[in-house]
Chains A and B, each alone.
Chain A
């Protein structure tokens, strides 16, 4: 009976189409995708296993729960910046000023809140608004003057850095009070165990509930779906992985709230990119801007929204890093922040060439980047070596992206 209904399905009428069903079909589809260059999460998983093995063998402290908790604290700030980078990369654009923007935001919080006594929420709002404005300017430069984002954000990198130094003044560094909620949020506050376990189970449950609803509506519309088995298998694997991770981290201090906020932002961004008209337009503009324009999409507005989101999230990342370090300094946002954020997005699977990627790549990529950075710190390597190694990792990530892109082209995938 299932056989009959399957072949009657609207989307299964063509005899040339192979029907991947059940768990075996899922595995076969997965192998096919990898072969054709659609790597998905694979580089991240391989990378994380490799990194964990190497660093643990060099220094066993790496896998101690509390070190991983620290790693998550650190990951949240640059992760936010990386989430913004995903937006501009999806359009095939770039923002090189994210580091400076985060530095400026952190300086603004220090100056407005500590030096001038403006309430903290207002200071943070001002920093975020500045981020939105800077993104607006980049978007207008691109839309009005056709100024490549590479150039406009490169000049922004210098200008924002200058502004950061200017408002910090000659002292150059402002300490944020340790007892303040901001610093506690960035350094101490972790979820209670029960909350972290609940949050670990929620994704699996939501996955199953939404998945079953999709199966039902698709069946009602005479369309095929992957089947309940695959759904339960995926949800089970996801829940198990999350529970193990949470249980392990709870042996240390627990899951930082700051990391939780970052993950929540990723989830919201993922919904916006995959399930809304705005997200669809983002992918369309990244894939073929002229086609998007002719389909009636307001390309200029989409570009503006991407640059504004990117700079705003960079500003938020700056606030997070100020909270993490309990200071606003001239060093904030300089050094490797820029490249780490971009590298994280690319390693996570967002293409530099536009039109491909996902919000998850910010989360997955930042875990890889932060693990490397954390491991190298544990080895007491100087920053000279750390820069060189991080640079090499970025180069490898881009090479993998380019090769995968070529392979996708020859296998007829976008």
Chain B
């Protein structure tokens, strides 16, 4: 049984279409008039500074928050994502930045949380086998799936969270900072996994601050700034262009630091 069994959408066909999404938290406008498209077999990177609204947008798509205005189209139909269950059911899986795992439950229970096999007489053996299959496909380094999450390291928890998102064979996978807590090998595995998901026809939304990871796998790079769309790029665009869009000016702290460094090295004989 493969975790990435079926590519169900035709490559290039639009899966998700956001138009004019806004979200207010009281007086604060976290998102204003956001447009975003995700197609089957495409990795869209969502980048932006802290507070740009990336995580808010992810939470809206996961059904955790409801947008104040705007429309969400999924597979050509307009949908409302009012609960996380609804989003999962449609095929939108999310790996949250805070992972959202239950520390008191073991790995198997967390993987299958809310989607246990045979609800009236839990099939622990089948769930455990499936858990090992999923984790092995991700090359996870987890000694035992019967350990509570509390005893796992940050990277191991991350892998469990990613494995969980794949359980229901989703159409879109959203990963919020998936490599932040990972070692070198695990980061490479996650990037491989993202490419595998794309090749199977899934849509992937990737949030990352690591431009190297983003450029390695993304087909398009969507920049958010202060809750608004601030340009769309491809990995062919230069780092400077993207960073200028993220910070809002070509003259910014990153470029100033770079020029200062280059001046210093230039001064040395």
Contact = CB atoms under 8 A, between A and B. Distances in A.
A287 B121 contact: no
A293 B63 CA distance: 10
Contacts of A356: 104
Interface string A371-414: 00000000000000000000000000000000000001101111
Contacts of A288: 100-104
A290 B100 contact: yes
Interface stretch (B7-15, B16-24, B126-134): B126-134
A144 to B, nearest CB: 16
B151 A296 contact: no
B35 interface: no
Interface residues of A, number: 39
Contacts of B115: 295-296
Given A11-B145, A280-B109, A414-B150, A293 B84 contact: yes
A414 B84 contact: no
A177 B26 CA distance: 63
B129 A275 contact: no
Query: What class of interface size applies to chain B in its complex with A?
Result: 35 or more
Nearest to B133: A10
A294 B109 contact: no
Nearest to A276: B120
B173 interface: no
A290 B150 CA distance: 16
B102 A11 contact: no
Nearest to A36: B151
A244 interface: no
A294 B148 contact: no
Nearest to A218: B125
Contact of B104 (A217, A221, A223, A355): A355
Contacts of B101: 288, 291
The 3 closest A-B pairs by CB, nearest first: A414-B104, A412-B151, A277-B119
24 contacts: A14-B141, A17-B143, A214-B125, A221-B126, A275-B121, A276-B120, A277-B116, A277-B122, A283-B102, A284-B102, A287-B102, A287-B103, A288-B100, A288-B102, A290-B100, A292-B113, A294-B64, A294-B100, A295-B113, A296-B84, A296-B88, A298-B85, A413-B148, A414-B148
Interface of B: 62, 64, 83-85, 88-89, 94, 96, 99-105, 109, 113-116, 119-122, 125-126, 128-129, 132, 141-146, 148-151, 164
